[in-house]
Amino acid sequence: MSSSGNVMAAGDRTATPDIDSNIAESSAMGRGKGKSLDEDSESENDFQARRQMSGMHPDSAWAEQNVLTFDGGGVRGYYSLLQLQKLMEYIRVVEEEENSKSDKPMRAEDLSSFAPCGQPRHMSHCPRFTPYLPCHYFDYICGTSTGALITIMLSRLRMPVEDCLVEYENLAGSIFGNPRLFHQAGKFGAIRKKNKFSTTNLEEAVKDVIRRRGEVANVQDEAMLISTPKGLCRAIIVVNRDSTEDNNMRWDTPWIFRSYDNFYKSNKPLHHGRSQRVAPQDFDDVNAPRNAGQGTRFAAWKVARAATAAPLYFKPLEIALDDGEIFRRKKTLFRTQTSAISSGGTLTRTGSAANNNNNNNNNRQQDRTRSTVRFTDGGFGRANNPAEEVLRELRSILKSRFKRIGTWVSIGTARQAATSDPNDPNLVNTTLLSYARLGDPEPVHERMVGESAKDKFAYCRLNEVNGLPSVQMDEWLPRGSGTQTMETMKNAFASWAARAENVAKFQKCAKALVQNRRKRASESKSLWERYALGKFYVCPEDDCIYDPDETWHYRTTFLQHLKWPHMKRNEAEIEAMLEQCEYVWEYKPPNY
């Protein structure tokens, strides 16, 4: 909440017209509209300095985009969070050291990743937590499978890692703590067609987290979209899309759920010599991103549901891409019933399950014209380590000389190499073994080492390569609480984190990330307030030429708006209006 008591969604609406960009900010920070450098009496050096402060200079800290990726791994996502928690602890140490060296050090109680901005209320629901948020150090947080759940909590819900650990524990208990006795993934899979875990439990557990931890301004929390406001940490979630090409079913085609737009511009020239902006499937371009275009407009819980639809464990998810409805097909003795679940969760019947002949005809016509896609867990395939898919996506975005990858942290789940059981040669065991081998994350890591050297960015992999043989991806013991499983992971992690080579990794990553954050905060107050707090502005003037719901994402662009067209000149009046018109992300208090 701002000091004036304003609470609104952090800029989810359409951005300011014609000046909502860093380029506009650079002109707002010293060059008059329409003036040359000479007319404005500003030297080229001064202009370049201002340009660097605006984030549009290659040497700016804003030019370096930091990336965090999570492997898939079922309950072992808890192990991934332990690694991230340790990294944030090292970050805290470095932040405190840098603060002590400062000419104007902050008080210890005021230190946080929001600095120099103040820390908002109710950021954490835990009695003890590290006040340093991953979303302040990473521009892109990405994941697949249960790593996608972590991604949503860290990026879209902007949570501290300690809160994520608590929520993950609750999620795992609800989802993995109550397996069915007989199921497809067990020894009787050939005769028992039920999935191992309840899909309903999964959906309700994810919705509960979003309801409790979403932004205050989201009235319909369950329908909170995965899309993130401009200027804030972004989310990339990798899933598998079942597709039929040339009559051959491909079950592991990666699909990207992105929280932002990616209108990919191809390098394929048109007749007049300019490149074209089209969907990548319309031309042969190996560098094209997956399913480029408008960002995902689905509810966050649906994206989480698609990302965790592991074969044999949960029902796959079928979505109508034109409006985001979910379809579940249920076979009956005489016909197939198709149930559509809308964004609000309302269950309706379509297709052959309609109530009368007219509805049947209408819905059959509708089904013929709608595009539905079936999604499954990206962890059951080559994207279990999503780093390569994310790199492909970022290469299509960061093509400007002003943006590049800075530090990349890839976090694993201590997955053990896949081995077969000679005493269990049944079909289900063979199928699961095939999935496991295909989803081995280490070959992707090895290729990423080479790619990082080629693209010249810092790459760090945090993972126990020997695995956790005593913890299976779906094991949660004892049922419900999972205390035994969590204790096993904590003990194994403590041993791994104490190794000298891993301590060095944590320290190196922490120093690079802290240096970048502190430099950003000092370069541009406008950009940092937006990135750290989600701050934006709404014009209060009744005679404003823009629509009442227009928003300005940055302080400098809103200042330009007040000075023109509203012709505000009194500095005290302008400062008062800035305070009156600002809105920020507001966390929900416990038991909201």
The one-letter amino acid code at 361 reads N
Please report whether residue 274 resides in a domain.
yes
**Is 440 an annotated catalytic residue?**
no
pLDDT digits (tens, 9 = 90+) for 15-65: 333 323 443 444 444 333 333 323 333 345 545 545 555 556 888 999 999
* Residue 514 · residue 95 · CB < 8 Å: yes
Neighbours of 48 (CB within 10 A): 13
pLDDT in tens, the chain (592 residues): 444 445 445 544 333 333 234 434 444 443 333 333 233 333 455 455 455 555 568 889 999 999 999 999 889 999 999 999 999 999 999 999 999 999 999 999 999 999 999 999 999 999 999 999 999 999 999 999 999 999 999 999 999 999 999 999 998 888 876 665 544 444 444 444 576 777 888 889 999 999 999 998 876 667 899 999 999 999 999 998 876 444 444 556 899 999 999 998 766 554 444 445 444 444 446 678 999 998 988 999 999 988 887 766 777 777 776 654 444 444 333 333 333 333 333 333 334 333 444 454 444 444 434 567 777 766 666 779 999 999 999 999 998 778 999 999 999 999 876 554 545 555 445 554 544 556 689 999 999 999 999 999 999 999 999 988 889 878 889 988 899 999 999 999 999 999 999 999 999 999 999 999 999 999 999 999 999 999 999 998 888 999 988 999 999 999 989 988 888 889 899 999 999 999 999 999 998 7
145 is catalytic: yes
Residue 280 located in a structural domain: yes
Q: Has residue 221 been placed in a domain? A: no
d(CA 182, CA 441): 30
Strand partners, 177: none
Question: Count of domains in the chain?
Answer: 1
Catalytic residue (choose from 139, 163, 377, 474): 377
Contact 372, 321 (CB under 8 A): yes
Tokens encoding 557: 């662009």
C-alpha 380/C-alpha 189 separation (Å) is 18
Note whether 546 and 247 are within 8 A (CB): no
Rounded CA separation 19/450 (Å): 39
Diameter of the chain by CA atoms?
84
Is residue 270 a part of any domain in this protein?
A: yes
Cβ 465 vs Cβ 415: under 8 Å = no
Distance between CA atoms of residues 72 and 69, nearest Å? 10
Structure tokens at 282: 């319309």
In the numeric block, the tokens 């697949």 are attached to: 144
Residue 278 lies in a domain: yes
Residue 284 located in a structural domain: yes
Q: Indicate whether 150 belongs to any domain.
A: no
Q: How many Å apart are CA 208 and CA 271, to the nearest integer? A: 53
What SS3 string covers 125-138? Answer: CCCCCCCCCHHHCC
Q: What is the 3-state secondary structure (H, E, C) of 367-381?
A: HHHCCEEEEECCCCC
Q: Which of 145, 343, 410, 526 is catalytic?
A: 145
Distances (CA, A) of 464 to 46, 79, 415: 49, 10, 8
Tokens of 53: 């402060």
Q: Is 473 within a domain?
A: no
Separation of alpha carbons 477 and 500, rounded Å: 31
Range of the domain at 271: 266-290
